[in-house]
Chain A
Amino acid sequence: MSRERVVVRAYGALTRLYPRRFRDEYGIDMVSMFRDQCRDESAWRVVSRSAIDLAITIPTQHLEATMTKTPSPLVPLIYIAIAVAGLLLAVVGGSTPATAIIGLGIALAAGTVGAVAWRRSAPVRETTTTGHWWKFVVAGPCLIALVIIAAGMGVEAWELGMVTVFAAFASIALGLMLGLSHLLTHRTRGITT
């Protein structure tokens, strides 16, 4: 194998250090350009220039990839589910003013964060993620059933029980929202295709 081919192969291997998306898009073109440069110029000059180029652009591309990364669409849904659960806690479990205040506080805080996160994230498009919505809906009643069974057996752990009920509400709300987004995505695709 000639020295030029070894150098080109080594450069090709180093391009694997770029972020995957960038490498998939431009990797072949970069190696091709490097090969052209080696053909027309002194290999030593090309290698030294490219070494500096790699050292600067690999971290730059990783930084850009991180900064332009779209937040997961699940994040706002989780916060909104917590807000809904907080509201339910305040309404259903609000026998005491303290519980109602805590529930409303949770709803307000999580709702605000959820709304901000919703604005910053792309709409849910991944049917593979939203397709699991029913599992969250089923998990909610299961958790409530566990609490009822535990209470029936005489277990006195009210704090743990309240947290579990809260988690159940959140799970049901999250499942319903995922299901809704799954349905809407499915319908949109059906219309456009």
Chain B
Amino acid sequence: MSRSRKALPAASLHIVLALMDGELHGYALMRRVADISDGAVRMGPGTMYGTLNRLVDEGLITETTDRVARTEGERRRYYQLTPTGQSAALSELDRLQTLLHRIKGGLAGGATA
């Protein structure tokens, strides 16, 4: 697992983490992000699709359009993590855990001193 990768911006991080459970379409992804952040992060369509566009360009996610038909005949675009995206998501989780561990260690050290 590489740690040299630059940390993902907040919106990208939330989307990548939300896609770890499997493919989702835009609105489901927005709801999943709201769920995992306990409602703290609610993305608008512009932020969502702008970030998805960047992540597709960077090769972290891929589009799986029209996998599921919609009742109104409207298309739904689904997105899923690529192997690079999976690796980036795990790397980000690792980074966040290390950060948390260090902060907790620092706080504990400060409390005992």
Contact = CB atoms under 8 A, between A and B. Distances in A.
Interface of A: 18, 22, 25-26, 28-34, 36-37, 49-50, 52-54, 56-58, 60-61, 64
A64 B100 CA distance: 33
A28 B52 CA distance: 15
Given A32-B74, A37-B30, A57-B44, 13 more contacts: A18-B46, A22-B49, A28-B74, A28-B75, A29-B45, A30-B48, A32-B26, A33-B26, A33-B27, A33-B48, A53-B43, A57-B50, A60-B50
Is the contact region of chain A dominated by helix, strand, or loop, or is it mixed? Answer: helix
Nearest to A35: B27
B26 A29 contact: yes
B5 to A, nearest CB: 21
Interface in B39-59: 42-50, 52-53
A30 B47 CA distance: 10
Contacts of B44: 49-50, 52-54, 57
B42 to A, nearest CB: 6
Interface residues on B, range: 10 to 19
Nearest to B56: A25
B45 A50 contact: yes
A29 B49 contact: yes
Contacts of B52: 26
Interface string B60-88: 00000000000000110100000000000
Nearest to B52: A26
A25 B50 CA distance: 11
Nearest to B30: A33
A28 B75 CA distance: 9
10 contacts: A28-B75, A29-B45, A30-B45, A30-B48, A34-B45, A49-B44, A50-B44, A50-B45, A57-B44, A57-B47
